[in-house]
Structure 1
Amino acid sequence: MTLILTRSTIRTLLADQVEAVEAAVARAHRDLAQRRAVLPVPPAMQLPGGDGTFVAMAAASAPDRLATVKLLADLPGNRAAGLPVQRSAVLAVDAETGACAALLDGAELTRVRTAAATAVATRALARPDATTLGLVGTGPLARAHARALLPGRPYDQVVLWGRTPEHAHTLANWITAELGVPAKVLDDPRAVTEAADVLCTLTPSREPVVRGAWLAPGQHVNAVGAPPRPDHRELDTEAVVRCRIVVDAYDTARTKSGEVLVPLAEGALGEDDFRTELGDVLTGRAPGRTATDDLTLFDSVGVGLQDLAVARMLIDLARERGTGIPVDLGA
């Protein structure tokens, strides 16, 4: 039987699983570094005359006994119609039998696994005495990041900014009330950047919102929000060049990340400057932060293996709790 897991079911299943999701995502990156998982470069498909992109994000894992593909639709034209710009669904099959194990809505899964990857990278790369978390962007991804990064961490405060002040104040109030960390809204991205020890950029921007001149030695930056397109980025070239760069997966970043591809095209970066993957740092194969005054950057494009890791969790949890919609696709 194939389990259908809707967005509301996924949200319920993951509500008390923040630490478990982070652990699953960390393990997935270690598996990739140790060649226990496969992560091909996702093909991007565009229809003639359209501005939309369809990305097939595949992965397979021996430890998780799954092969998955998430079909991501990135449709900028949806914004004018009041529809989500990005939509996705994940198909998971049993790696041993080929049976279709589950079909999962991708929205909540993607937000949670993206925030978990940021939490993994931050734990590995940020200074242990970091006390101020900065968020540039105030949408659902920002809320997911606050939930993933704050519990159990030594942050004294959160500073944030968003294009819509009402949304920014709503997020700040939620962080203070629900997560117990004081949060305040600042005037602009520069103020947030200059105040933060750990900075997360969480906007769908095509053009830089953070400048290298604003960064200070010792900071850690997570560049998360830009869509997986080679000309979209949230950090300018100076910001990227100043940092020690860690990517989620080199082959994917080399084709999808404007954060590194724009500086590469400008001749400001070489390919060796962004070859270090998160799994390499987690397994000790490559250094992350080497000194307290290092500037570190986690360039998060998002990869299918993260989807697979969380899909494995969700399938197991759904079966344990007797939830989800079972369907016999072969009937």
Structure 2
Amino acid sequence: MTLLYKSDPARGAEWARLLAAKAPDLAFRIWPDVGNPTDIRYLAAWMAPDDIMAQFPNLELLISVGAGVDQFDFSKLPPELPVVRMVEPGIVDGMVEYVTMSVLALHRDLVPYIAQQRDQIWRQIRVWPASTRRVGVLGLGMLGEAACRKLAGFGFQVAGWSRSCREIEGVICYAGPDEMTDFLGRTDILVCLLPLTDETRGVLNADLFAKLPRGARLVSSGRGGHLDQDALLAALDSGQISAAVLDVTSPEPLPTGHVLWNDPRVLITPHIASMTQPETAVDVVLDNLRRHRAGEPLLGLVDRKRGY
């Protein structure tokens, strides 16, 4: 049985080195060197081939090399094929670092200070303690919960929203559509860590921005499809949103000359908030292969009805 890797070849080489040491009996190949396609039982990929079962008729498990699965077209995947998300700790740690960095940057007005530096302006902005700032995290999955816990440690008033009820020590939890307005109304800095589904596509829109306190700030580090970029620009122009940190856009990268590139109220990073770390990812994959062979529950198994 063979595990095929279809993503960044440089990271694939790291996987090969690690798997040779940890699982020398596991056959491993890196796309496009697939060998005999009928030997492929497991596929670890960012983008899956459209004709996946025609290419690999004996495929038993599809593994996303990232935390999300919205890049897969499930209509082209057989319903009986299990799909798992990457749940390795490196992804969590990286996202927590990025969210913490971004929230602190917005809290301490780094975005306007960068703009002031460009214009050689020396102007102080009032400093407020973290205890006066209300942070809200959209999405309380593995990433959102970890981010909430870290932010609470800085003294922020932290709340989170999810589809279903959650309990997190030190965090005010809201759930469901009926509690969204109350959640937004108490949020000075909004962090979006939702999965991208049909329900959440375009969720960061004019209606949502209008429910935030005037001058609120935004961290968008889920998927570019969450954000209505025109609505963000309008909210920035009106003062409803005062600053934003965007790690994801639509499309990626933004076209040359796009207005967001040079907007002094926006800080953009190139989808680097969190990356799979080969050292820990390989351990999670090997555990899931063992679980699959033993008929045990898989880590990160995707519920196709929910889309994550």
- Give TM-score scaled by structure 1 length: 0.45
Structure scoring higher RCO (CA < 8 A, sep ≥ 6) equals 1
- Which structure has greater strand proportion? 1
